[in-house]
Amino acid sequence: MWNLRRTFPVLAATISATLLTVAGFDVVAKGNEPSIVDTQVIALASPASIALTHVHGLAYSADGKQILIPSHHGIAAYASGRWSKMAGPVHDYMGFAATRYAFYSSGHPAAGSNLINPFGLIKSTDAGETWLQLGLEGESDFHTLAASYETSAVYVLNYSPNTRMPRPGLYITQTDGMIWTQAAANGLKTKINALAVHPSNASVIAVGAADGLFISRDAGNDFEQLLGGTQVLAQWFDLDGEHLWVSSYANAAALSRISLKDKADIKEITLPPLNEDAVAFIAQNPTRHDELAIATFKRSVYVTEDSGETWTKIADGGTTRNK
């Protein structure tokens, strides 16, 4: 049987940490005007030197030409069959999310950066070359963050009070961090693993939790269960706005595509062979919706160009593969 604590030490540490109960669910205990712009830029690394020592997210560039993986040391990019390091500061990016118009993230600054640690919420509109702090710098590090692809609404799990969030819980901003609204999160009772936001309706949010998949259609105030009897580790709103891609685990890793109109309409997707592993992140190409990428907890990365019928491995246990 899969031993989560042995196989995924990061998750095990999270599970072992003290949990706070917020509005019925558990979260792990761990400014007003946009502030400093970070201008630290690095040169592109050679493709041969790229290793995925950590995987903190997964996304496609808006033009669909790059797969992006943020980590402790900047953002790795896969394009035209080759890996490289993106131009930009080598920050420790956490909670990374890409929209049509910008990147959003949290985390910690690289050595030599003029940004305040921790980031709070930061934003880049030039593909990660420079970043603007939107507030809560020096206060909060949001490891669980999601953004709506078209609307740029941002949801976060807040672990402790700060100057804009008086209590731990689930929050939304539609003003780039100027105003945060706490959601009631009714219906959530167990540990939250992941967030996802509908691409065009900022009021629709999905939560992957220890006891299943939940969806809210009123900005996180009330949730209904779409999938139970399994731990949901990651989810992604299909850019068609009508389906959810869901990574789950119940005795084995699984990937499925669920209709938002009929939760009984579930298509099971055949995963590539995973050895005591599971899907940690899902992303979809915004220009070719049949192309998706998945990243696993053990830092393997796969791409499909036919909605999961076949998969190509582009990283194996953190070791990247060039064509």
- What 3-state class would DSSP assign to 307? coil
Q: What is the pLDDT of residue 26?
A: 43
Rounded distance, CA 214 to CA 230, Å? 12
pLDDT, the chain, mean = 88
Q: What is the pLDDT of residue 6?
A: 40
Count CB atoms within 10 A of the CB of residue 229.
9
Count CB atoms within 10 A of the CB of residue 50.
20
Backbone dihedral region for residue 176 (phi beyond 0: left; psi -120 to 50: alpha; all else: beta): left
Mean pLDDT over residues 49-53, rounded?
Answer: 87
Q: Taking a C-beta distance cutoff of 8 angstroms, is the pair 52, 92 a contact? A: no
Q: pLDDT digit string (tens) for 138-187?
A: 999 999 999 999 998 999 999 999 999 999 999 999 999 999 999 999 99
Q: What is the pLDDT of residue 37?
A: 53
With 80 as the cut, is the pLDDT of residue 63 above it?
A: yes
What number of residues does the chain have? Answer: 323
Top-confidence residue, 243 or 17 = 243
What topology does CATH give the domain 4-320? Answer: Methylamine Dehydrogenase; Chain H (2.130.10)
With 50 as the cut, is the pLDDT of residue 219 above it?
A: yes
With 60 as the cut, is the pLDDT of residue 200 above it?
A: yes
Rounded distance, CA 80 to CA 14, Å? 36
Give the residue among 56, 126, 59 at the shortest CA–CA distance from 99. Answer: 59
Q: What is the pLDDT of residue 11?
A: 41
Strand partners, 303: 293, 312
Residue position matching structure tokens 């899907």: 279
Q: What is the pLDDT of residue 67?
A: 98
Rounded distance, CA 249 to CA 2, Å? 10
Top-confidence residue, 9 or 131 = 131
Q: Of the ranges 30-39, 50-59, 66-75, 190-199, which one carries the lowest mean pLDDT score?
A: 30-39
Beta strands of 118-274 (E only): which ranges?
Answer: 121-124, 131-135, 145-147, 154-158, 169-173, 181-182, 192-197, 205-209, 212-216, 223-227, 231-237, 243-249, 253-259, 266-269
